[in-house]
């Protein structure tokens, strides 16, 4: 098929490249000309494991191209995918301006009947609204909902081995086109869910909200463990052993971040409010996440004592491993709070330092970063782990101790990935979240 994808962010670039890899002819369109020009030069605008090789291979094979607007022969695409951003608005509702602009571009350029597949995360009823807006097109355009379920850091794998594909399409002809499109993935019947557009739109929000709730609940339990002397590791194992619950998304941490959970939780709450339905659980999930950030900041303050004049190394700046994305990352607010309390912060991340420095400049804060994690710890009073990159999971604690200052330097493990006994054997003081490690007086 001939396909056009609007947007070259995580969703658009992975989707377009994945479809090209399946043998389709794909044009990826983005209004950001610099990003398009960079891709034409073979430069990736984001870090996603395995994606750069796929992009280069499909560009060489002439199956994948990039442009700032739709050009020939893609005015005759079979499907136009809308995969642009829907940033959070002031009132919690997502900003859909880019979605509607992409839809208008399809109306202006399409020269044959086609599907308009919305991959962007949008409120219930958006696809119906787009269908009404484009009804005056010169050719028949049918809007379908095809939400994405790509995890940053594993997006390529998720595209080729999806848990499910949701197709929100009203007509049998649209359903047939979408089934044929994804047929090379050889998915079994139960992993392809065909439904109406509105249900498809809500599935995406519901999935993210459910996962965010699990994260927030475990973070609340970690705070309760911290207060009562229980161990969150034991609680996690005990709860996760229940087959009805499962073991995934049961790890305590500094709070969720990224481009999806924070935005989608607030969007679902706003959607409920607009329809007179109180979404109390999403409200509570958001508040629990805010409380977790405050808890980690206070934990560092209590552990370190007076922060003014202290030097703190922060390992992990991306909101999760295997990405350079720092949008809504806990690191931003935690580092800002530490610096505003007078601490000197030196950061390290395998991929996200450039984006983090830029994000902090937008907060009018200049933060130092190092290219080596141990260099970041030079002269530090404390090391704070915020992102569980694999390269951080088994550090040389003896070497770390040598780089740090003070008689008993502090290690604060906000991901609970290190063993307290190994840390303390190296002459460091360990502090986790809700773990039965030695308490700081």
Question: Alpha-carbon distance 21 to 374, whole Å?
Answer: 40
Q: Which residues contact 404 (CB under 8 A, 6 or more apart)?
A: 377, 378, 379, 380, 381, 382, 383, 428
Domains 2-193 and 196-441 share a fold: yes
8 Å CB contact between 428 and 402:
no
Report the CATH fold assignment for 2-193.
Answer: Rossmann fold (3.40.50)
Q: Which residues contact 381 (CB under 8 A, 6 or more apart)?
A: 304, 310, 311, 312, 404, 405, 406, 409, 410
- Check whether domain 196-441 has CATH 3.40.50.12170, yes or no: no
DSSP string, 230-249: --HHHHHHHHHTSTTT-STT
Containing 77, the helix (H) or strand (E) segment is: none
**Structure confidence at residue 440 (pLDDT):** 38
One digit per residue, the tens of pLDDT, for the chain of length 441 reads: 999 999 999 999 999 999 999 999 999 999 999 999 999 998 999 999 999 999 999 999 999 999 999 999 999 999 999 999 999 988 889 999 999 999 999 999 999 999 999 999 999 999 999 999 998 888 999 999 999 999 999 999 999 999 999 999 999 999 999 999 998 887 766 789 999 999 999 999 999 999 999 999 999 999 999 999 999 999 999 999 999 999 999 999 999 999 899 999 999 999 999 999 999 999 999 999 999 999 999 999 999 999 999 999 999 999 999 999 999 999 999 999 999 999 999 999 999 999 999 999 999 999 999 999 999 999 999 999 999 999 999 999 999 999 999 888 999 999 999 999 999 999 999 999 999 754 433
**Structure confidence at residue 244 (pLDDT):** 95
Say how many C-beta atoms besides its own lie within 10 A of residue 377's C-beta: 28
8 Å CB contact between 3 and 78:
yes
- The residues annotated with a catalytic role in the active site are 260
User: Which tokens go with 302?
Assistant: 């209590």
What does the domain layout of the chain look like in residue ranges? 2-193, 196-441
| Residue position matching structure tokens 């004049």 | 309
8 Å CB contact between 84 and 98:
yes
Nearest-5° angle of CA 160, CA 163, CA 168? 95
**Structure confidence at residue 91 (pLDDT):** 83
């Amino acid at each position: 098929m001939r396909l056009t994808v609007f947007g070259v962010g995580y969703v658009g670039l992975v989707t377009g490249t994945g479809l090209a890899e399946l043998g389709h002819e794909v044009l990826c369109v983005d209004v950001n000309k610099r990003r398009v020009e960079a891709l034409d030069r073979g430069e990736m605008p984001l870090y996603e494991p395995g994606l750069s090789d796929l992009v280069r291979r499909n560009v060489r094979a002439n199956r994948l191209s990039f442009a700032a607007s739709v050009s020939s022969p893609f005015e005759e695409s079979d499907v136009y995918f809308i995969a642009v951003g829907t940033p959070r608005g002031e009132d919690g509702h997502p900003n859909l301006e880019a979605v509607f602009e992409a839809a208008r571009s399809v109306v202006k350029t399409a020269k044959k009947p086609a599907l308009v597949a919305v991959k962007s995360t949008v409120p219930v009823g958006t696809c119906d609204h787009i269908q009404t807006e484009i009804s005056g097109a010169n050719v028949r355009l049918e809007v379908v909902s095809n939400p994405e379920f790509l995890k940053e850091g594993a997006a390529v794998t998720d595209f080729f081995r999806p848990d499910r594909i949701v197709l929100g399409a009203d007509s049998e002809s649209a359903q047939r086109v979408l089934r044929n499109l994804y047929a090379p993935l050889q998915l079994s019947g139960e992993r392809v869910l065909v439904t109406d557009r509105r249900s498809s739109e809500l599935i995406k929000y519901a999935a993210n909200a459910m996962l965010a709730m699990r994260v927030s609940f475990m973070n609340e339990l970690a705070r309760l463990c911290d207060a009562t002397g229980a161990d969150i590791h034991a609680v996690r194992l005990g709860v996760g052993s229940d087959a009805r619950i499962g073991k995934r998304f049961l790890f305590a941490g500094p709070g969720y971040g990224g481009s999806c959970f924070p935005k989608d939780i607030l969007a679902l709450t706003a959607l409920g409010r607009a329809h007179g339905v109180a979404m109390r659980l999403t409200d509570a999930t958001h508040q629990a996440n805010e409380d977790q950030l405050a808890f980690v900041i206070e934990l560092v303050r209590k552990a370190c004592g007076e922060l003014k004049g202290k030097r703190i190394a922060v390992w992990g700046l991306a909101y999760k491993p295997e990405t350079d994305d720092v949008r809504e990352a806990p690191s931003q607010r935690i580092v800002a709070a530490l610096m505003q309390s007078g601490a000197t912060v030196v950061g390290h991340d395998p991929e996200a330092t450039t984006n983090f420095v830029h994000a902090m400049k937008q907060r009018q804060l200049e933060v130092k970063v190092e290219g080596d994690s141990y260099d970041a710890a030079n002269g530090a009073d404390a090391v704070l782990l915020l992102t569980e990159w694999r390269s951080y999971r088994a550090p040389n604690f003896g070497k770390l101790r040598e780089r740090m200052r003070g008689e008993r330097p502090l290690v604060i493990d906000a991901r609970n990935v290190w063993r307290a006994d190994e840390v303390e054997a190296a002459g460091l003081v360990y502090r986790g979240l809700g773990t039965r490690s030695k308490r700081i007086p």
